[in-house]
Amino acid sequence: MNKQVVVVGGGVIGLLTALNLAAKVERVVVCDQGEVGRESSWAGGGIVSPLYPWRYSPAVTALAHWSQAFYPQLGDRLFASTGVDPEVHVTGLYWLDLEDEAEALAWAVREQRPLTAVDISSAYDAVPGLGAGFTRAIFMAGVANVRNPRLVKSLKAALASLPNVELREHCQITGFAQQDGRISGVHTADGLLEADDVVLSAGAWSGDLLATLGLTLPVEPVKGQMILYKCAEDFLPSMVLAKGRYAIPRRDGHILIGSTLEHAGYDKTPTEQALESLKASAVELLPGLADATPVAHWAGLRPGSPEGVPYIGPVPGHAGLWLNCGHYRNGLVLAPASCQLFVDLLTGVEPIIDPTPYAPAGRLA
């Protein structure tokens, strides 16, 4: 297609949107107010599953299932083309002492997912460092985690190698340009950037940008804090989750513990209170961390949205403006499906899944 497309926001959603678009349109420009991938995409844990998938709507489930099946080939493709391995690491995931275990198992049967109840002794056998006192476990085989900072680095490298893609970092978008009844580009600190189509994928900042058009997008920043330990490579064989907190092993022995859920506006300051809470959760899950010191502690801002259902599709009454945003806690999980669905819609091909639940029409004020 002979189109120039501007993607506003350079997180995983924006970068993968641009990568998919690059094969379909003449030119793609990605603009980010800072460095690409340094906000929510960098800060998250990278579990390739919603934390509690049975608690989400069918709309989220559809995107998650497609993405989970696609991630291994995406990781292989990016590694082969860039030399940067996103480390799609298949470990499986144990949920411990769930209050809604029956609902989880019923969901697994209904959705044909490999989630089963296991004897607690088998969980302790599989995860020798697990803390004492847990009585019940369910396990989903095949669940992976992706090393999200490396995924971002790989996506950035892939885009940088394409002649029809431009990455503009530290490019502040101040509003949208309009001409002849349609969106015709974006206003930046350096002037007008014209486009045939504009894609808003600006994470927690998407609502603020859309407000410049008098539209209300219910996407708001939701702060999350995490800590990181460095252990032996075999310290934690599988991901574990209990009481809303999780431990994620990387291949090199790094262990992520997360995360908090805070409504604090755009404040990303790590706090001592969160640090102590996360350390306590780490020791409860993995007592071997009691004498370890976290090697990092950070915060990020999720793009919170109602029920975690993203907005994917054209903005009614504003031809040329599209959304691919509002993924809340599941941006990394849902990115492959969300970005493929988006490009299907923009280019007019048969969409991979029913786009109706994600359409901005009827969901904006």
3-class secondary-structure state, position 6: strand
- Whether the CB-CB separation of 123 and 134 falls below 8 Å is answered with yes
- How many helices and strands in the chain, by DSSP H and E? 9, 19
DSSP element (H, E) containing 228: strand 220-230
Confidence of residue 311 (pLDDT cuts 50, 70, 90): very high
Residue 365 scores a pLDDT above 90: no
Share of the chain above pLDDT 90, in %: 99
Residue 193 scores a pLDDT above 80: yes
Distance CA 49, CA 46 (A): 9
pLDDT tens string 103-131: 999 999 999 999 999 999 999 999 999 99
* Predicted pLDDT of residue 36: 96
Residue 301 scores a pLDDT above 80: yes
Cis (ω within 30 of 0) for the bond into 281?
no
pLDDT tens string 261-299: 999 999 999 999 999 999 999 999 999 999 999 999 999
Residue 182 scores a pLDDT above 90: yes
Distance CA 46, CA 23 (A): 26
* Predicted pLDDT of residue 1: 87
pLDDT tens string 68-100: 999 999 999 999 999 999 999 999 999 999 999
* Predicted pLDDT of residue 361: 96
Place of tokens 């919603």: 50
* Predicted pLDDT of residue 147: 97
DSSP 136: -
pLDDT tens string 227-260: 999 999 999 999 999 999 999 999 999 999 999 9
Distance CA 260, CA 123 (A): 25
Distance CA 173, CA 287 (A): 47
Domains contained in the chain, CATH given = 4-45+150-219+306-358 (3.50.50.60), 93-141+220-304 (3.30.9.10)
Q: What is the mean pLDDT of residues 30-54?
A: 96
Beta strand pairing status for 220-230 and 296-304? Answer: antiparallel
